[in-house]
Chain A
Amino acid sequence: MSEPTSPDGRSSFLDSKWLPWVTTPVLLLAMIATWQIYVSRSGVSAFILPAPMAVAHAWIDLLGSGRAWHHVLMTIYATLAGFAWALVFGVGLGTLIGRIRWLEATLTPFIVATQVIPKVALVPLFIVWFGFGITSKVIVAAVLAFFPILTNTVLGVKSVDAGHQDVMTSLNASRWEIFRRLELPSSMPYIITGMEVGIVLSLIGAIVGEYLGGASGLGFLLVSRMNAYETDGLFAVMIHMTLLGFVFYFGIGFLRRMLIPWHQSANM
Chain B
Amino acid sequence: MAVVRVDPETDKAPVSVQLSGVSKTYPTRGAPVQALSPTDLSVKSGELVVLIGPSGCGKTTLLRLIAGLIKPTSGTVDIVGTNLWRNNRRQGDAASEMGVVFQEANLFPWLSIEENVALPLQMRGSDKADRSRRVQALLDLVGIGGFGQRWPRELSGGMRQRAAIARALSYDPDILLMDEPFGALDAMTRDTMNIELQRIWMETSKSVILVTHSISEAVFLADRIILLSPRPGRIDSSYDVPFSRPRTTELQSTIEFQTIASTLRKRLTEIS
Contacts and interface: CB of A to CB of B under 8 A. Distances in A.
Interface in A103-123: none
B123 A262 contact: no
B119 A171 contact: yes
A46 to B, nearest CB: 55
B110 A170 contact: no
Contacts of A188: 110
Interface string B99-122: 110101010111100000001100
Nearest to A184: B110
B98 interface: yes
B92 interface: yes
Nearest to B100: A170
A182 B123 contact: no
Contact of A163 (B92, B104, B120): B104
A164 B174 CA distance: 22
Instruction: Please provide the 10 A-B residue pairs with the shortest distance between their CB atoms, ordered closest to farther.
Output: A163-B106, A170-B100, A185-B110, A262-B110, A172-B92, A172-B96, A167-B106, A172-B95, A262-B151, A171-B120
Contacts of A170: 67-69, 95, 98-100
Nearest to B101: A170
B69 A171 contact: no
Nearest to B91: A172
A99 interface: no
Nearest to B93: A172
A15 interface: no
Contact of B123 (A164, A171, A264): A171
B236 to A, nearest CB: 27
Given A166-B69, A170-B98, A181 B119 contact: yes
A186 interface: yes
B109 A263 contact: yes
B95 A164 contact: no
Contacts of A185: 108, 110
B123 A177 contact: yes
Contact of B102 (A167, A260, A262): A167
Contacts of B69: 166, 169-170
A173 B69 CA distance: 12
A236 to B, nearest CB: 44
A182 B108 contact: yes
Interface string B153-182: 100000000000000000000000000000
29 contacts: A163-B104, A164-B106, A164-B108, A166-B102, A166-B106, A167-B100, A167-B102, A167-B106, A169-B68, A169-B69, A170-B67, A170-B95, A170-B98, A170-B99, A170-B100, A171-B120, A172-B95, A173-B123, A181-B108, A181-B119, A181-B123, A182-B108, A185-B108, A185-B110, A186-B108, A188-B110, A262-B151, A263-B109, A264-B153
Interface of A: 161, 163-164, 166-167, 169-173, 177, 181-182, 185-186, 188, 260, 262-264
Contacts of A181: 108, 119, 123
A113 B223 CA distance: 63
Nearest to B173: A170
Contacts of A262: 109-111, 151, 153
Contacts of A169: 68-69, 90
Contacts of A163: 102, 104, 106
Nearest to B120: A171
A84 to B, nearest CB: 24
Contacts of B99: 170
Contacts of B92: 172
Contacts of B67: 170
A190 to B, nearest CB: 13
Contacts of A173: 123
B172 to A, nearest CB: 13
A164 B109 CA distance: 10
Contacts of B106: 161, 163-164, 166-167
Contacts of B110: 185-186, 188, 260, 262-263
Contacts of B153: 262, 264
A177 B108 CA distance: 14
Interface string B75-106: 00000000000000010100110111010101
B119 to A, nearest CB: 7
A122 to B, nearest CB: 38
Contacts of B111: 262
A182 B151 CA distance: 16
A203 to B, nearest CB: 29
Nearest to A185: B110
Contacts of A164: 106, 108
A169 B70 CA distance: 10
Contacts of A161: 106
Contacts of A177: 123
B169 to A, nearest CB: 13
A262 to B, nearest CB: 5
